[in-house]
Structure 1
């Protein structure tokens, strides 16, 4: 009976891939006879799974839409993907934060021990921000390696990568030797993944973009207990002037000096921007967008005095926007 149940779950997993499977394909994947596959399909139908049949050369079996949500079956990769998605789901959209947390708890409760350990390694901190600037996809193995190092408190040896994901070779101008980092938190913010850790070479806390790191095999070296400056990982990440970001390749990139503290601008600047500390009350923000008007618009959201605006294309875009808003103001009148 156990073999029959396990085989039925494997069959269910195949049928959920939104394609038609021929009887011979299913029999080959399950390593059973076609007669056994037909019997297992009837078993699923008896459990109210809507297994559809299509006749003809391109036909076969697939799972259709049910009237109610039946029990689901995930393989290891699917379960981990759902766990990560539930943790990174926007919590401000229609109040889904509580529902996502309950779904994650339900999923965790039924996971086998080996899978639960892997999922726990991916417990992360998600910071809220109004900006979402997608980064290159992070491989599941990279996520699991970073999450495991954080959970088990083990030193990471990393190499810095270029913005395109390539790794500089010795002799290249941008090559830097491997660094030893004590990872303390795995964070998502503004559509990007970050590792917060203590850099042993610099003896300083750093925020690194995960897609800009090449992770070497686990070291097994223990992380020393350390207190994060301020004790609040969200505040630390959002107010860090350098989060390992390098301005992405945008159609337009410009900068301006702002009459605001760097930690204030860093908190609200889009991911991928660069905030340079110029003093207690001033900083320089470098930002990219698909148009010069877009760069100017982002700068304007900070509602502060600007100077040292570069390049000339950005200054011209600012002047155009000023003329447009002056025209709007004239149409509206003083009232």
Structure 2
């Protein structure tokens, strides 16, 4: 076989090793249409290129792609390449400070090695898509990685934290899991000073240091559910209850978890076309604006402050229409 054929076969072998955790030599040979001896030679070629292909002999043995000391070239199929390019573009406008430039560099490298047909597909997707800047809370990449490693290693973390009023306080916690809504990052952790589970926003942390003290093994709440409850029930002036003529899934896609909780309507629990939004906000006028943009019929069950805010918004819009007419 010529050099081009050998190269193509080695790339196919690499693709197979990336697709599954383990392959026997017989499986690889049958899939590639070659002998097991040829598979062994191609494995050695991959190793010479820096790919850590591990082999285990005996019954149940085979080949698998291990972790190396450096990152070798990756082999992506068409769908993976397009998905990676799109994800990198989103990361260029993300919430992690310092990751934008790295994402842009990676996206540039990927575009350089893409075949023209894929480059055209990605360009078409980018040109047909616009990024809408939103109210995201940026965090430092070092903070993110320090917290992530502490969760992995199960060690305590110390940091200075600003509460919702901007008041600073030192915290020592045992972190469990980070949760992101796309707009903000949160940490579920056991607060040692308060002897209870707490939710912390990463963008309000400073001077984050991981200690060498191990976390105490303890049962913890579900991170996603706990953070959802925490961020949708901050202390507020009023808690609003709104019945919406739309499915719960539809409303959840429009309402950030920081705004409120969406669930079945207690008075119509079997009606999939209705749901109940329980939202806590400091500013009823802000909630009125958010309800208006949902584009569905809403019934304000309470409190009166929210009803009044909706009435004020309606009057202002009516006045604007009157002036325009």
TM-score, normalised to structure 1's length?
0.44
The structure richer in helix per residue is: 2
